[in-house]
Amino acid sequence: MWSGSEEKVRVVAIIPARYASTRFPGKPLADMDGKPMIRRVYEQVKKAVDEVYVATDDERIYEAVKSFRGEVVMTSAFHRSGTDRCCEAMKKIDRPFDVILNIQGDEPFIHPGQITLLKNCFHSSSVQLATLVKPFSEADGIVALRNPSSPKVVLNKKGEAIYFSRSVIPYLRDVHPDEWLRGHRFYKHIGVYGYRADVLEEITKLPQSLLEKAESLEQLRWIENGFRIQVAVTEHETMGIDTPEDMQKALEFMRTKYFDI
């Protein structure tokens, strides 16, 4: 728990969850050893944050969350991003929260310590936005580093994000790619976010930016418009689930290697 003046910071975690998905329709309701995935995520988040809500556009997800006595709000089916859905949910909850955490609904292995790291970024009143990164290891290999589905991040000396890219950044000139992970610490983006409530409202009013459109990464819109994104470094691995094949891998991981879920 936070102490002293930090107790005044009111935090809510919102889990955006939509039913429609090109690669995995109904993903939030997919069974994970007797529980729908959205419940697995909810229970992990609840270990780190007292106030947790699912924000969905689908009655089936709404009823599933209600069935395990979770908090849930209905939102529009036309949002472009989880950030937009979180903003609508924040307004519908209509409570005076200072910080909103956006935890993706397809991260059943999110570690409570990661959520606490994200939350703790807001100990400083100057922090507007926050997210997490994890260092790539040599064992990850060059294929993982080059994977465009795994955005990379570069930081300044204040621990703020300078840029996010689906390409490898920075490019190590005059170094063979097989040596990149040995010669530099690259950071993988972990797609969870924290926002000051007023900042969340501001960024959802911004038009899409050129960099955002180029990389298909909404956080670049925020940087282009002068917002600062504080970054915390986690050593915990996560496993997002985008396809039925990913779910099979996740179930195997859960049954053999993961004991806290």
- Determine which helix (DSSP H) or strand (DSSP E) holds 41, and give its type and residue range: helix 37-46
Structural domain contains residue 38 = yes
Domain span at residue 109?
Answer: 4-236
Predicted pLDDT at 1: 37
pLDDT of 258 reads 56
Burial class (CB in 10 A: 0-12, 13-18, 19+), 257: exposed
Is there a domain that residue 131 lies in? yes
Q: Report the first-to-last Cα separation within the chain, whole angstroms.
A: 22
The answer to the question of residue 254 being in a domain is no
Residue 261: what pLDDT? 53
Extract long-range pairs of 145-152: CB within 8 Å, 24+ residues apart: 145/180, 145/181, 145/186, 146/177, 150/188, 150/189, 151/188, 151/189, 151/191, 151/215, 151/217, 152/186, 152/187, 152/188, 152/189
d(CA 203, CA 22): 26
Average pLDDT of adjacent 10-residue blocks, the chain of 261 residues: 56 94 86 94 97 97 97 94 96 94 94 96 96 97 95 98 98 96 96 97 97 97 98 90 87 73 53
Q: What is the pLDDT of residue 242?
A: 82
CATH number at residue 171: 3.90.550.10
Would 255 be classed as within a structural domain? no
Residue 124 placed within a domain: yes
Asked if the structure places residue 155 within a domain, the reply is yes
Count structural domains, the chain: 1
Within-domain flag for 252: no
